[in-house]
Structure formats: structure tokens, C-alpha cells
Structure 1
Amino acid sequence: MKGISMEKKDLVIRIAGEGGEGIISTGDFIAAACARAGLEVYTFKTFPAEIKGGYAMYQVRASSETLYNQGDTFDVFCAFNGEAYELNKHLLKPGTAFVYDYPGGDFEPEIPEGVHAYPIPMSKTAKGLKQYRAKNMVAMGAMSVLFNINEETLIRVLTDKFTSKGEEVLRLNLEAFELGKKMAAEQSKTDTYRVADAQEPKDVIIISGNDAVGLGAVIGKLDFFSAYPITPATEVAKYVSTHLPKCGGVLVQAEDEIASLAQVLGASYAGKKSMTATSGPGLALMSELLGMSTMSETPALVVDVQRGGPSTGLPTKHEQSDLFLAIHGGHGDSPRVVMSVEDVKDCIDMTVDALNIAEEYQTPVVLLSDGSLAFSTQTIPRPDPASYTIVDRRKWDGQGEFKRYLFTDDNISPMADPGTPGAMHIATGLEHSETGAPNYGPVAHEANHRKRFNKIAPLVDKYKPTEIDGDPDEEADVGIITWGSTIGVAREAIARMREEGIKVKGFYPKLLYPMPVKQYEDFAAKCKKILVPEVNFQGQLSHFIRAETSIKPIPYTICGGLPFTPIMMIEKTKELL
């Protein structure tokens, strides 16, 4: 291959085509190879709800420096078919590189001026091997040469994947890979894109958001998981089903979402640390049982991997639209703790935190993730289970009369497992006295409401302070408040704007309820304007900020099934200056 080459610390490669053509596995292979080469990796994928067919896309961002999001757009685009080309051709700007299936594919693209084009006959080559499914291997081989994707680690990844399928399968895939390399080497390279060279090996893992939630559950000493499959949360249960039994825990597949939370409450009542994972439609069905968890003060964790709604909505697409439901979705005044994760590392750390909080405060906790983060993979430091603090529920000491709902100074009552001598009690959805006996009087109801709300109120000071991106005492023209995986986009956008001399800083709440009002107020007091980007139509966090504080936020909402990019946030901020 002839031409120039220049290292680019940050390279974004997008692969797109029809579901079933190996788009997702291609991205996974490239991401794993880059991670094994010591690079930082952040991926994003989107695919149809159907099992096979429809447009699928995988984006890999690799860098020698820390990454916080999937990037603005691609540097390199690899199109497996005409549909992928049609959906992305408007993004083929001068300077981008374009790898495409030609000749022998189902399209012949028009190459915009300034675009670096590399035709590779992927389909034709795979058919020549009588193994059409190896089309993606041809593409990978070509891209490894064109863009310096570490061949050694890529071959190791492919060998690890295909060895178990037999020598012939491995041989065919590696042959297709080599043919792709050969064809790319015959091309004249006209762009400067190059994945960074291999770095010093790091003790890291590459893991998806959903798998990281499952890992956090295992690290957090989970005893019981009840699962009902729902996109995009099913992989949490899949991970837990593989690893929880090794640790002595139990997973049960329930008949529906209502039953799954009912089982969680039953196991928790029996003294077991318990959780489930679902998405928006499932969380809606669980609202009555969340109220029972609140009323009976039974610890429970529900992980909500948000997706586009309402109803069936966009099952495989990204959205942050369950905040109203998570905080207020329930009959009557039913307080619960609501938290949200930023990235894959948070999916581990905050699952442990959420289990601890549920146990300590004897309350339901809803931990919000989202469809983008669920399937994204990142390189993160290998977690050390011994470094995590594990909290268990307060237990009755066996002294005096056992009162399950005893009023205490911190509003947290001692618990006892069924069968504990002298600790017989009932825990129902009825209002009750200290012993658990039904009590419908106004005095008891008001006192218990105060107890249930007041016991979680100290969290606003006890949990980790909300991170401020920038000097807390510095005056800023614009302050950006955002939540969930949108935080990572804000981090990069803010860093880039600061390099331009723009006075901007960020505020990244992860404890969403109870709301740390004073921290919001203190941050906003140093900002002339507050911008709140979030991926939902109504501006749900903006709503709570207006309701609970004196801040007048400027909502910035999108809801097209895709996450923000840094450039979107930069351009919106500049409009406010």
C-alpha cells in the first residue's frame, strides 16, 4: 500500500449494513483488538428490533487518551450495502474515508469530492470462498491494513472466537481476513487516518453497560435476581444467570415484570439481597409493587435500562425518558431513591451503591441506565471486588419486644428474617402500627409518611457530592446540568469549549431523588445561564429543577433514538453566549 500515514490519537470507525451480515460482531472484534492493544475504547451500536434484517450500525472510537462518549461523527465509514450508504452519505464530508462493497455489492456510490474512497469487493470475495458469512472478515482485513488496526491482537481475537467452532471455520474466516488485507494493500492510501500504535499493556477489561450492571450485582453480594426478558435490559439477567450461581446466589425467570418484582420483595422479606432489571414498560407495570416496597420498607433494587417510548416505542433505541416514572410512578406518596449511571464503570460502582442504599435505608431504589450505554462497551480498569464496601440491613438484636416499624432517631427500623425467635411479624401493603398490625388512623398514617420520607432525606448529604466540572468558585457564562450517559458528552464538549476560551462548567447529578437542592443552587449561583441537555421530549430533569429550586433552566432536548454528540452541545452553548 502506498501513501502517507500519520498517527491520530482519536479515530472513529463506523460500520453499517444489514442485520445478520456480521456488523455487530465486526465492531466487537475491532473494539476488543484495540483494547488488547492498550488503547481506550468507547463503542456505540444501534440495530433493529427484528432478529434478522434491517439497518444495523456499530461505531468504534479508539484513542491513546481517555474517552467519554462515542464522538461527533465518523472519520472512517465502512458500508456493507446500499441502505447503509444511503443513510450515511450525507455524513461523507471532505476528508472522511469510505470503505465500501464494490464491485459485486448491491450499490455503486457517488463519491463526494474530497472523500477518500476504498472499494473492496467484500461480497464477491466471500462468495468466491463459498462462505458469504465471511464478508465481514474481508472488510476487517481491509480496514486493518488501511487504518493500522493492530493485526496481532485482531488475529488473537478472531482465533479466540472461532477456535471452538472448529478448525475449518477458523481457517475460512482467517483466509477471508487475509484476502481483505491483500486487496487493501494494493490500494493507494490517500488519507491520514491511523489507529494509534499499541500502548503499554494495562490491567483493563472491555465490558458493556449491561454486563457491568451484572458484574456490580455480583460484587455487591447479591443473593437473588428475578428476571423477565425485555429489550434492552435482558443482557443484565443473562450475565447474572451465568455468574450469580457460582457465588451461591439464585436467579429465577418470572412470568412477567409484575411477578419479577413480587419475587424480589419475597426474597428480600426472607432476608436476601435482591434485585431485578427491566425497561420502561416493565417499570410501569412494577409501580404498584414499588409502592408496596415503600410501605413495607422492604429493600429492593430495580435497574431500569431506558428505551424510546411510550408503549413498545423504540425497543432498541436510546432515550432518557423514564425520570418522571422513576421518581413519581406510584400510587399515593411513595418515596424511593432514584439514581443514574454515567458510564460503564458507574454501572459497576453504582449497582453496588444502589444495593447498599436499598439495604441500609430499607427502601426501593431505581437505578437508571439507558439503551445507548446498555450496549456500549468501554475499556475500564479491572475492578477489585475487595475494594468495595458492602452494607447489610439493620438487624434486630433480640432484646425486648420486636417492633418491625419501630420509630427511631434516624427513622430506620431493625429487621428480622422469618423464623427469628420472638420476631414474628407481618409486612403488607396496609398502613400499620410499629408492630406491623393494620392501623388506618390519621396519626399513624402521617407519622409513617414522615418516617418513610425522612429516612432517605440524609442521602443528599451522605452520598457522594455532585461532581462539578470546573472550579466551583469560578464564574461561568453557561453552566451545563445533565444526567445519565449524556454526562460523558458534556465532559468532552466543555473541555473543547474551554480550549476556545469559553467560560463554561458542568454539574453532573447521579443521585436524582432525593434531590440535593442546595448543591444545584450553589452551582447555578456561579452561572449566568443554565443549559440542561437530555434525551427526552419534555425536558424531565429541567421540570424537577424548576419545581424544586429557584433555577430557571434552559431545556435542550432531543428524542430521535440517538444520543447527543459533543458538537451538538457546543453549538447550543454558543447560541446562548
Structure 2
Amino acid sequence: MSKPLQPTTLSIALTGSGGAGVMTAGQILLDAAAHCGLYGLMTRSSGPQIRGGEAAAMIRLATQPVQTPGDRFDLLLALDFENVERFAAELPLDSGSLIVVDPAAGEVPAFLRASGAAVAGVPMAKLAKTIAGGRVAMIALGILAKLTGLPESSIIAAIATSIGRKKPEAMEASANAVRLGASEAPDGGVSRLAMPAEPRSHPRWSITGNEAAGLGALRGGVKFVGGYPITPATEILEWLAGALPQCGGVLMQAEDELASINMIVGASYGGLPSLTATAGPGLSLMIETLGLAVASEIPLVVIDVMRSGPSTGIATKSEQSDLNIAVYGLHGDAPHVVTAPLSIADCLLTAQWSVHLAETLQTPVIMLSDQSLGQTRAVIDRPEDVEFAGKRLVLEGDPTNYQRYAQTESGVSPMAIPGTAGGQYTADGLTHTPRGAPSSQARDHVEQMDKRQRKLDRFDFGAHWAEIDGDGDLAVLTWGSSSGPLREAVAAARAAGIQVRLIALRLISPTQPERLAAALQGVKRVLVIEQNHAGQFWRYLRAHYALPDDVVPIHCPGPLPIRPGEALAHIQQGALA
């Protein structure tokens, strides 16, 4: 009898109350897998509380790169059952799953029993007490090592990296707990993950989308950041707070979002590429100043890490529902740029590109990331280095009769850095003359509006506007974080013999009608898939692009992620209809 094939991907969920160490354990498990040459990602879920409370770490390990959680969980390890029902919709289990619980935690909740998953009991709390300084989360990691096939040594090495060498007693206790947990793990119940035969030959990164966005901002040349903490964007500011000073830059925490956007307008006016990061409620507060930046042609970048709305919504869950405000939210005719990263790794490229676009076009750029990208940690191949040639056009040479807002063929005019002799000008939100003097004349108003629009219309955004993959008369059209599960679904559809192409837009605004028409050449049916309630992307496409007659809008709101199997079902149905 032939041996059953080992799986190439394994999904694990850890749940527990605040302080139980769920997130730390999940991070250690991911680090250990990376040490073994695996890929993976970890998403996190928590309740609405600011601090403490129930938490879930959801890890997917794989022998190949993965960009999205799987369709189901092979293994759920519950340290306790405190408010675990809040994660009921986020923990798809079935009869092939295994639930590991501590019998002392009480009855297994009904929704878990209803899944049909097998249940195995391990007295994790009791075992932890047999070790001086032992912790339940470390016992759990030993159990996970045994069940998944990860070497105990890799788990212990990852703990050493996490704890550091300054706590030898804690390290010894943790190592002993891991070994004890592995020895007491249930026998079987989950197929062990296939381990790479050879160690990895090229470097990999463990990075979140928020960290990648921060790195992209630095590579783009950002030197000033003004920010106010808000979930789920805070980690961008936290990461830049440490990294920016090392690159000669400055980060300042403002008293609110209004102050942060005004700070970066001032810093950019002074010549420094500038950025802030926020979420939907913060973006709402920044809208008036974004209009000022458009009118005064001051470059800046706002990264909006979207969350479920409206209003406070669900601060810890993801949704692609800020597209409308990002594109249309500024009052008046206010041409600006909106971008969206397509994966965790792509947060780096898109942030770097966004800074380049803002500086080159002298306009605000809103980058639409979201919680699922920003707060998910992934083990990825090192992204390729990309360089952009453009930079801010500044006043040089003879400043005689300097006109800051002079009419030019490209629409971009030289910007004087404060202190440049002869380069004085007025920069405000009033309609103005080419010199910047306030004006109420119709001619000045129309000329300046034409100038600002011309900058975007005549600029060549190049190949980065979208990622296009595959061929066929069926196309899936999407944007932002929805690209990950759709990329996996498209690959599965092709493996099943369905010819389908994927078009994922990185540049939301300004529109690129000629490029999209070329990408849709030969397509008869289009599935527009996105994660929001109103179909904002579909309505935007319908308003600004010539699409085939047969367009199927598929829009599902947060907070639940779009899963690959769900997307595959839509593709299969679209291919048959």
C-alpha cells in the first residue's frame, strides 16, 4: 500500500483569553516554520476591546508561497473557551479537522461540536504546573510541533529568538514545556506537513503589510511622518518611529488626525517628502486638508489601512469600503491619485510607488491598504528592488518672474523650496493666478483646474497600474487585498481546466481606460469581485470604463475574508453560465 501524500499546506488556529499567550505562540510557530524552509502567514483576530479579552491567531503553513488564509482549519488548539463563540464564523472546521482542548476548560462549545471535528483532550494547564515557570502556551507549542511535524528544535530556537538570551531561566522552562507538550500530544488526527528536503537557498522575510508599507515609504524617500495612532494603521507609525530617524528623517505624533495631515502639508511645502497613516475615520477628518494639498499642489501620501465601517465599525476587521471616499470624497474638482497594494509584499512596492507619484506629480496620493494586509504577518521571498527615476521638480536657476503655478505642457511646474531667493509665492486653497495670488476670475479658475487635471492625464503610469495574469474569455477583475484569494482560486480553476484571466488593479484613480480595454481583449464575461457591501469597485468601473456586456458583480462585505474556495465557486459558476 502506498503512503498517503503529505499535505503541502496546513491551517492552524489558536484561541484563548487575553494574556494566555496566543499571539506570541502563533508568532513563534510561524518563525519556526520559516526556520524549516516553509512559507506561511498569520492573521489575528480579537474582540472590540482595546486591551485583553479573547484572541485568535490563525496560521497557514505551506511549502509554497501563500497570500491568504485557507478555506478551512485542519487544527484548532483552544487554550480556553472564553468568548470563543465570537470567532465562530472565522473558524471553518469540518469532519477532517482536529480540536485539541484542555479538559479543565469545560464543555466544548456547541458550534465546535457541530462541525464534526474530532476532539482530543490534553491537560495543558496541569502539565504547565509541573515545570517551574512553565506556561500553557509553551505546552501548546510542543503539541503543535508533534502534530504538524515541525521539529521541536525549531520551535525552541524560535522561542530563544523571541525571549532573547537575557532570560535563561525562562528559556529553560519554555524548552522543557515544549518537550513535555510534544510528549503528551495526541497521536495523529492531522496529516503532518511535508517538510522541504533542502534548506532554503535564498533569503526570506517575515513581515507584515504595515511594516512593508513603512519600508516602501523609506525607499520612496519619505523624510517626515506626522501621525496619530488608529487601528489598524498604528503599526506603520510604530515601525517608522524606529526606522525613520536612522534614515535622517523625523516622525512626530500629533494630537489628532487633523494635526497630522496639516503637519505633513507643512513639511512637504518645506521640501521634505511626507506621509501619514490612518484608517477610515481618520481619513474622513483629513479630507479638507487633502483638498488644500490638491489646490496648492503640495505632494503627500496618506496610507489608509481600511477597516469595517461606517463610523467606528469593527476596528479590528477588514473591509474594502473606503474606495468611494478615497476617490470622490474631496469637495470640488480635485484630481489626485489613489493606489492599492495587491498583497503583503506588494505593500512595499505600492507605498514606494505612491511616494514617487506624489512627488513627481505634486499631488496627494491615497494608498488603500486594509487590516487583512496590514496586520497579517507572512513569510515571503525577498521582494525585488525597484527604482523610480522621477522626483520632485524644484525651482533652479534664474527665479526672475517666478510663477509657481505656471501653465506647462505636462501640468507640472517647478516648486520653490522656502528660502530660495526670488522663489516666494502664496500657497493656499484659494483659486489663484499662475503666481499664486488669490483670484476670483473665471479664467484663472478654469486654467488652474485644467492644469491639475493635465498632470494626471498626460502622465505615463507604466506597467505598475495593474497585474494581469492568464488568458481566456472569462476574466476576474478585482483590486487590493481581494487579489490574494482570487490569485489562488484562479490557479485552482486553471488546474481544473478552466481558462480564466486575472486583472488586479493597483492604480484605482486616475482611470486607465485604454489599458483596461487591452487587458480585456477577447473577454466575454467579467466577474468583478470585491469585499464591501455596496459594490463600490463595480460601480466605479461601470461609471468610468467600457466593460463587456456580460458583467457579474460579486461583492461581499467584511468582516469575514474572501476565501479561495468561495472565489473558486464563483469562477466555476461563471465558466458554466
Shared fold by TM > 0.5? Answer: yes
Q: Secondary structure at the match of 1:369?
A: strand
CA distance in 2, matches of 1:428, 1:52: 42
What is the CA distance between 1:401 and its match in structure 2?
Answer: 2.2
Amino acid in the other structure paired with 1:533? I
CA distance in 1, matches of 2:290, 2:39: 39
1:220/1:390 contact within 8 Å kept: no
Deviations 1:515-551 (A, max 9, x none): 1112333344522221111111111110111101232
Q: Secondary structure at the match of 2:567?
A: helix
Match of 1:543 among 539, 563, 568: 539
Alignment of 1:230-309 (within 5 A): 230-309=230-309
Who is 1:57 aligned against? 56
Match of 1:505 among 489, 501, 514: 501
2:28/2:162 contact within 8 Å kept: no
Amino acid in the other structure paired with 1:375? Q
1:297/1:363 contact within 8 Å kept: yes
Who is 2:44 aligned against? 45
What is the CA distance between 1:130 and its match in structure 2?
Answer: 6.6
Q: Which moved further from structure 2: 530-539 or 452-461?
A: 452-461
Who is 1:332 aligned against? 332
What is the CA distance between 1:457 and its match in structure 2?
Answer: 1.7
Match of 2:553 among 555, 559, 576: 555
Who is 1:166 aligned against? 167
Q: TM-score, normalised by structure 1?
A: 0.93
Amino acid in the other structure paired with 2:451? K
Tell me, yes or no, if structure 1 residue 496 matches structure 2 residue 480. no
What is the CA distance between 1:455 and its match in structure 2?
Answer: 0.4
Q: 1:207 to 1:544 in 2, by over 3 A?
A: same
Amino acid in the other structure paired with 1:554? V
Who is 1:94 aligned against? 95
Amino acid in the other structure paired with 1:424? Q
1:38/1:198 contact within 8 Å kept: no
What is the CA distance between 1:71 and its match in structure 2?
Answer: 1.5
CA distance in 1, matches of 2:39, 2:554: 29
Q: 1:130 to 1:258 in 2, by over 3 A?
A: same
CA distance in 2, matches of 1:164, 1:116: 39
Who is 1:402 aligned against? 402
What is the CA distance between 1:575 and its match in structure 2?
Answer: 3.0
Q: Which moved further from structure 2: 305-314 or 18-27?
A: 18-27
Who is 1:141 aligned against? 142
Who is 2:568 aligned against? 570
2:203/2:382 contact within 8 Å kept: yes
What is the CA distance between 1:51 and its match in structure 2?
Answer: 3.6
Alignment of 1:77-156 (within 5 A): 77-83=76-82, 86=85, 87-88=87-88, 91-102=92-103, 104-108=104-108, 115-129=117-131, 134-156=135-157
CA distance in 2, matches of 1:248, 1:256: 24
Deviations 1:255-300 (A, max 9, x none): 1101101000100000001000000000010000100110000000
Q: 1:324 to 1:190 in 2, by over 3 A?
A: closer
Deviations 1:278-334 (A, max 9, x none): 000000100001001100000000000000111111101011000001111111111
CA distance in 2, matches of 1:384, 1:113: 43
CA distance in 1, matches of 2:495, 2:254: 52
Q: 1:347 to 1:573 in 2, by over 3 A?
A: same
What is the CA distance between 1:85 and its match in structure 2?
Answer: 6.2
CA distance in 2, matches of 1:536, 1:77: 28
Who is 1:360 aligned against? 360
Who is 2:68 aligned against? 69
Match of 1:534 among 523, 530, 535: 530
CA distance in 2, matches of 1:172, 1:80: 18
Tell me, yes or no, if structure 1 residue 178 matches structure 2 residue 179. yes
2:281/2:312 contact within 8 Å kept: yes
Deviations 1:409-449 (A, max 9, x none): 11100011100011111101111111111111111111111
Amino acid in the other structure paired with 2:450? R
What is the CA distance between 1:485 and its match in structure 2?
Answer: 1.1
Q: TM-score, normalised by structure 2?
A: 0.93
Alignment of 1:335-350 (within 5 A): 335-350=335-350
What is the CA distance between 1:42 and its match in structure 2?
Answer: 2.2
Q: 1:352 to 1:191 in 2, by over 3 A?
A: closer
Alignment of 1:440-451 (within 5 A): 440-451=440-451
Count of residue pairs brought into register by the alignment: 565
Q: Which moved further from structure 2: 23-32 or 547-556?
A: 547-556
Deviations 1:382-407 (A, max 9, x none): 3576x533642001122242111111
Q: 1:398 to 1:378 in 2, by over 3 A?
A: same
RMSD, matched Cα: 2.2
2:342/2:481 contact within 8 Å kept: yes
- Residue identity over aligned pairs, in percent, reads 35
CA distance in 2, matches of 1:517, 1:196: 46
Who is 1:157 aligned against? 158
Amino acid in the other structure paired with 2:58? Q
CA distance in 1, matches of 2:480, 2:555: 14
Amino acid in the other structure paired with 1:235? E
Deviations 1:126-155 (A, max 9, x none): 3444757x1111111111012112333221
Alignment of 1:406-485 (within 5 A): 406-459=406-459, 461-471=461-471, 474=472, 476=473, 478-485=474-481
User: Mind listing any 5+ residue stretches in structure 2 that lack a counterpart?
Assistant: none
Who is 2:228 aligned against? 228
Amino acid in the other structure paired with 2:491? A
Amino acid in the other structure paired with 1:526? G
2:147/2:190 contact within 8 Å kept: no
Amino acid in the other structure paired with 1:497? A
2:308/2:321 contact within 8 Å kept: yes
Who is 1:374 aligned against? 374
